[in-house]
Amino acid sequence: SSQNNNHEELVKITSTLSYAFTTQLKLSDKHITHLQEELTRAQRHIDKLEVKVQDQLKAPNEREQETTEQVKKLQAALAAAQLNQQHATAAQRDLVNRLQYAEQLLEKDKNDIRDKNSEISALKDHLERYRTEMDNLTQQLDDTNDELYMVRKELQYAYELAYDERSEGPQPKTSPAFATQPCPANEGKPPVQDHRAAHGMTIKDLNKLSENISRFNPNSTEGHDIQAYLQDIEFHLEMRPHVTDRDRLYIIRATSSPEVRNFLDRQPSQTKSNYQRLCEVLIKEFTDPESEHGLLTALETKQGRQETPQAYYNRLRQAYFGAHNKPDLEEDVNFKSLFLKNLHPGVSHHLGVMACPRSMTIQQLRDLTQKAYNKQKMASKKGNKTSTLLNSVNKDSSLA
C-alpha cells in the first residue's frame, strides 16, 4: 500500500509536472510567438533603418558631388576673376602710363602757354609803347600844325596892323582863308572902331579860353552833340569883346579831335571864311546817327517795379534825347506823354487823372510821379504786413 501510495503520489506529481510543463510549454509558445512578432517588428524597423541609413549615406555622396561641382565652378570663377584682375591691373598700369604721359604733355603745354603769354605780354607792352609814341607823335604833329596856324595868324595880324598904321591908301588883299564875315551871334551889333576889334583876341587868350571848353570827339563812345559843342563855344565867346570868325575857327581847331581838324582842312575857303556856313557843315557832318534811333529806344524804356522815378526819368531822357542838351528840352509834349505812358502800372494806378502832359511842366509831372511812387510803396508794405498776419493766423488755426 505504501508503494501504491507512492505510485499515486508519483502519478500526481507527474501529472502536476506534466500539467506544469504543458502550461509552461503553452506559455513558451505564446512567448515565442510574441517574440517572433517582436522580432518581425524589430526586423522591419531594422530594414527601415537600413533603408534610411542607405538614403542618408547616398545624400552625403550627392551633396559631396554637388559641393565638388560648386567648388569646381567657384575655382573656375576664381580663375576667371584672377585673369580679369590681371587684365585690369595691366589696363590700369597702361592708363597710369598714359595719364603720366598726358600730364607731361599738359605740363609742356602749360609751359608753352606761359611762354606765349609772356611773349604776348611783351608784345602788348611793345605795342602799348608804340601806341603811346604814335599818340605823342600825333599830338606833336597836331601841336605843330596848331603852332603853324598860330604863327600864320600872328603874321597876318602883324601884317594887317603894320599896314593900318601906315599911310592912307587901299586896303591890302588878304588870303581867302583868313577872310572874315560877321558871326551870327554878333549880328545886329554896331561895328567896332578900334584896331583890337579888327584883329580879334590874342593867341594867349584863345589858348586860355580853349582850356575851358570840352573837347569834341565824334568817335567818343559816350556819344556826342555837335550843336551843344558849338553852343558851348558861343557861351564862352559871347562875354568876350572883339571876337572874329577866325577866333571861332581857331577855338574849334584847338578843342576838336584830329578827324574834325582834317575835315576843316578839306573845306573850301568860302566855307571857312563864313562861320555860319561852317557851323551848318559841321552839324551836317557830325550829327550823331544814333539820335535817329532815340525814339525807338525810348519807346522800349519802361519803369521797373522797384525803380525810382528819378532813375527811370534819367534813363528815358538819355534814350529820348541822347547827347542833346538845350534849355527846356524836357518840356517836349511827346517826351512828357511818353514819360507818363511808360510808368509802372502800380505807379500809374496811384497817379490819377491829374497828370496832363500838355498843361503841366515836366517838373510837376515828376513831383506827382514821386508821390504816386511813395503811395505805391506804402501800399506794398501794408500788403506784405497783411499777408504776413494772415499767414500767422492760418498757422495758428492749423495748430489749434
Across the range 44-63, mean pLDDT stands at: 80
The DSSP string of 295-357 is HHHHHT----SS--HHHHHHHHHHHHHTT---TTGGG-HHHHHHHHHTS-HHHHHHH-S---T
pLDDT band at 113 (very low <50, low <70, confident <90, very high): very high
Cell readout for 236 is 564862352
User: Residue 240 in contact with residue 209, Cβ under 8 Å?
Assistant: yes
pLDDT digits (tens, 9 = 90+) for 97-110: 888 988 898 888 88
Q: Single out the residue of 228, 236, 240 nearest to residue 210, CA to CA.
A: 236
**pLDDT > 50? residue 192:** no
User: Helix (H, G, I), strand (E, B), or coil: what is residue 216?
Assistant: strand
Residues pairing with 216 in the sheet: 256
pLDDT digits (tens, 9 = 90+) for 285-309: 887 555 544 567 778 889 988 899 9
**pLDDT > 80? residue 159:** no
**pLDDT > 70? residue 379:** yes
Q: Is the pTM of this model over 0.85?
A: no
Lowest-confidence region among 2-6, 122-126, 268-272: 2-6
**The pLDDT of residue 29:** 77
User: Residue 252 in contact with residue 151, Cβ under 8 Å?
Assistant: no
**The pLDDT of residue 193:** 39
User: Helix (H, G, I), strand (E, B), or coil: what is residue 189?
Assistant: coil
Q: Which residue has the higher pLDDT, 363 or 10?
A: 363
Residues pairing with 256 in the sheet: 216
Question: So what's the architecture of 292-393 in CATH?
Answer: Orthogonal Bundle (1.10)
Rounded to whole angstroms, the maximal C-alpha distance in the chain is 232
Q: Which residue has the higher pLDDT, 174 or 269?
A: 269
Provide the residue ranges of all domains of the chain, joining segments of one domain with +: 8-55, 176-287, 292-393
The percentage of residues in the chain with a pLDDT greater than 70, rounded to a whole number, is: 78
Across the range 109-123, mean pLDDT stands at: 88
pLDDT band at 161 (very low <50, low <70, confident <90, very high): low
Number of H helices, E strands in the chain: 13, 0
- Rounded Cα distance, 273 and 267, in Å: 10
**The pLDDT of residue 399:** 55
**The pLDDT of residue 30:** 80
**pLDDT > 80? residue 48:** yes
Lowest-confidence region among 102-106, 164-168, 238-242, 371-375: 164-168
pLDDT digits (tens, 9 = 90+) for 167-185: 444 444 343 333 333 344 4
- Rounded Cα distance, 321 and 292, in Å: 10
**The pLDDT of residue 316:** 87
- Rounded Cα distance, 260 and 145, in Å: 14
Residue bearing cell 597876318 = 156
**The pLDDT of residue 309:** 92
Q: Single out the residue of 286, 242, 244, 243 nearest to residue 264, CA to CA.
A: 286
**The pLDDT of residue 387:** 62
pLDDT band at 361 (very low <50, low <70, confident <90, very high): very high
User: Residue 249 in contact with residue 272, Cβ under 8 Å?
Assistant: yes
Planar angle of CA 285, 286, 288, nearest 5 degrees: 125
**The pLDDT of residue 8:** 75
User: Residue 343 in contact with residue 311, Cβ under 8 Å?
Assistant: no
**pLDDT > 80? residue 214:** yes
The answer for residues whose C-beta is within 8 angstroms of residue 153's C-beta and 6 or more apart is 178, 203, 246, 250
- Rounded Cα distance, 266 and 391, in Å: 76
**pLDDT > 80? residue 224:** no
Planar angle of CA 317, 320, 321, nearest 5 degrees: 80
The DSSP string of 265-276 is HHS-HHHHH-HH
**The pLDDT of residue 15:** 76
**pLDDT > 80? residue 314:** yes
Query: What does pLDDT average to over the chain?
Result: 78
First to last CA, the chain: 129
* Residue 372 vs residues 241, 341, 344, 353: alpha-carbon distances, Å: 51, 14, 10, 12
pLDDT digits (tens, 9 = 90+) for 61-80: 777 788 888 888 888 988 99
Task: Please report how the helices 245-254 and 2-165 are oriented relative to each other, as an axis angle in degrees rounded to 10.
Answer: 150
**pLDDT > 50? residue 189:** no
- Rounded Cα distance, 53 and 48, in Å: 8
Question: How buried is 249 (Cβ within 10 angstroms: 0-12 exposed, 13-18 middle, 19+ buried)?
Answer: buried
- Rounded Cα distance, 326 and 161, in Å: 40
Main-chain phi, psi angles of 192, to 5 degrees: -80, 155
**pLDDT > 80? residue 339:** yes
Please name the helix (run of DSSP H) or strand (run of DSSP E) that holds residue 285, with its range, or none: helix 275-286
Residue bearing cell 557832318 = 285
Across the range 38-43, mean pLDDT stands at: 86
